Structure 1
């Protein structure tokens, strides 16, 4: 009689099997997570770099440390930032040079225009040259602000807008000053003042007068500039920040400016992490809304955020 071997698992064997399975699963999970982190780390680096793009459109410097693929990704992003900075500076130098070089031929043309016998024709020539002069001045001024050495500092928005209102009132524009409100933002004072002056001038010139409102909304300062003008057709309102945009080209001869005021204002405000929107009012007029982050204050000491 042959004995049949007992092939059943030993007592408690199922617990050992379960333990091995758990150990294998945990080990496989750990290896998979480690491999996934190695794969996604450069992607996270890209995401962080793009989310930290500064108001000037440049990437912040990324430390070239860590694993080989991390160093390679960081180096590629840093090289891209250097090339972007060089390209932007070249563009600004080109704009400044073009604006400056226009001055000499415009001066010659102005001298020749003075000798045009027909008074009406002479007036047209001088008006065109004046418009070119304004465009050149705007381009050069924008470049100066882009590359200027002025640093961010706390700016009392209510006080600044009162200065703008007083200056425009002195030159005959109808501007209604807002109630005094103490809200401090982080900006370059001269640049922000120019942006606000452009917006208020736009309302006072095209809208028959400007009325302003200042208030706090959460952690932001809100400035609303209202006018009673004809507004902008809805199909064109998305173009208002484009350089040289005019709703009615026929008004170009009767109203001052080169069509760069709103474009420059948005450029400046967005550089300070702010936003600007323009919308039609009912029954008529425009509302220009500027939002700028407030400066944090602790016991009277300001810190820029």
Structure 2
């Protein structure tokens, strides 16, 4: 099963940081607990060994006949002393027992043997220590039961867990701040890229900040400048071509009027009209890429009603349903031209057009649906390409120039709006226009 991976860079960096820090804290906690247990065990063993060494020194100073009288007093705290040797059935513990090094360090000159005693005061078996005094006599010391290292009681959580929680929260806040600062330039660049589609002439990005951010911002500004120059150059070229072609087209019209054969004259006039329309639409498409910064409050209800009335006056079947409560801030001529192109396209291929408007949380939605045959799924996006025409439109009557939808999309994009095509279940072709809400 593939684990879900966050989509945003901020969430990914936060996840990597938190997982890494959690692993470091877990390893550090395990090492701390292990070291605490080792130090605690060594301190315990050293204390017991030193206590036994002190008792052995006292017994060395006592006469043999006095040892029996003092033996119980000396082991009153936690040791049980006996002047008898250990039972013969006990087997000595291996030399790697953790208690033996502490005993040998405390009593290096004495002969020491350690046994496990089955009787004890606690849940763990007691240890029986046999050591020799200076006069050669032996003393048995029953030590208290000592738990293995893994069974030592854990540290009290009263202070440790709150300290770890405070450390994790503090590191998480610092991580959030650091990741947010690191990813904020990317967010600004993404916002600038979106705004570039609306206004190619927008002010350049701020190039202040770290070296990498400044370099990326400078490259983005350079790209924006080149795109603006390219659009302006293309518009000037098309305008020049359109202007220069007007004169030969006008001469051809005059010469066509001198043709006596009416059929031939009509065909030539139709070709000249198509040429002039193509030149005009090409120039309009080029200019549709240029953003108009002048915005005004647009009454969408009034605009759509005017477009519907104009279509009805031309004999088209266009219906409008729904109302919008909020106006739209945009460029009215560009929005009018874009919506008209969509309505005209629907009438051309679907005869009847239904317009429905609605409010959304982030703006307004305009649905323009015709009653035609629709489009194959692979052509729903291709029809927005310049000069692209479907097979059903490759004729003189309905074909057009193949620029109407491309112009509509460009005009809507310059205002932050989008348009998409789909084939609804009830049939026809549906154009969905989403207008953003501006604050």
Name the TM-score, length of structure 2 as normaliser.
0.53
CA distance in 2, matches of 1:67, 1:210: 54
- Contact kept, 8 Å, 2:318 with 2:352, in 1: the verdict is yes
1:164-221 CA-to-partner distances (Å, cap 9, x unmatched) read: 1111211222212324433422210111011001111111222112111111122221
TM-aligned CA distance change 1:104 to 1:46, over 3 Å: farther
Q: Give the match for residue 264 of structure 1.
A: 407
TM-aligned CA distance change 1:92 to 1:282, over 3 Å: same
Q: Give the match for residue 123 of structure 1.
A: 266
Q: How does 1:146-295 map to 2 (within 5 A)?
A: 146-147=289-290, 151-248=294-391, 251-255=394-398, 257-282=400-425, 284-294=427-437
SS in 1 for 2:246: helix
For the pair shown, the structure with the greater C-alpha radius of gyration is 2
Q: Give the match for residue 275 of structure 2.
A: 132
Q: How does 1:49-68 map to 2 (within 5 A)?
A: 49-53=189-193, 54=195, 55-56=197-198, 58=200, 60-68=203-211
CA distance in 2, matches of 1:243, 1:80: 23
SS in 1 for 2:321: coil
- Contact kept, 8 Å, 2:199 with 2:291, in 1: the verdict is no
TM-aligned CA distance change 1:179 to 1:68, over 3 Å: closer
Q: Give the match for residue 231 of structure 2.
A: 88
SS in 1 for 2:384: coil
Q: CA deviation at 1:149?
A: 5.2
CA distance in 2, matches of 1:166, 1:150: 29
TM-aligned CA distance change 1:142 to 1:90, over 3 Å: same
1:115-158 CA-to-partner distances (Å, cap 9, x unmatched) read: 33443332222222212211222233344555575612222222
CA distance in 1, matches of 2:199, 2:186: 15
Q: Give the match for residue 43 of structure 2.
A: none
SS in 1 for 2:387: coil
Q: Give the match for residue 126 of structure 2.
A: none
Name the TM-score, length of structure 1 as normaliser.
0.74
| Structure 1 unaligned residues grouped into runs of 5+ | 7-28, 295-303
Q: Number of aligned residue pairs: give it.
A: 266
116-125 vs 169-178, greater mean Cα deviation:
116-125
Q: CA deviation at 1:285?
A: 1.4
CA distance in 2, matches of 1:190, 1:213: 21
- Contact kept, 8 Å, 2:189 with 2:217, in 1: the verdict is no
83-92 vs 53-62, greater mean Cα deviation:
53-62
TM-aligned CA distance change 1:51 to 1:170, over 3 Å: same
CA distance in 1, matches of 2:378, 2:224: 37
160-169 vs 75-84, greater mean Cα deviation:
75-84
Q: Give the match for residue 111 of structure 1.
A: 254
Give the superposed CA RMSD. Answer: 3.2
Q: Which has the higher contact order (CA 8 A, sep 6+)?
A: 1
SS in 1 for 2:406: helix
CA distance in 2, matches of 1:150, 1:102: 31
- Contact kept, 8 Å, 1:215 with 1:222, in 2: the verdict is yes
Structure 1 residue 141 corresponds to structure 2 residue 284: yes
- Contact kept, 8 Å, 1:113 with 1:125, in 2: the verdict is yes
CA distance in 2, matches of 1:272, 1:292: 8
Q: Give the match for residue 75 of structure 1.
A: 218
Q: CA deviation at 1:272?
A: 1.6
1:53-72 CA-to-partner distances (Å, cap 9, x unmatched) read: 22246475222334555544
- Contact kept, 8 Å, 1:100 with 1:136, in 2: the verdict is no
Q: CA deviation at 1:46?
A: 5.5
1:47-103 CA-to-partner distances (Å, cap 9, x unmatched) read: 632442222464752223345555444333333322222222112222222222222
| Structure 2 unaligned residues grouped into runs of 5+ | 1-104, 107-170
- Contact kept, 8 Å, 2:338 with 2:409, in 1: the verdict is yes
169-178 vs 57-66, greater mean Cα deviation:
57-66
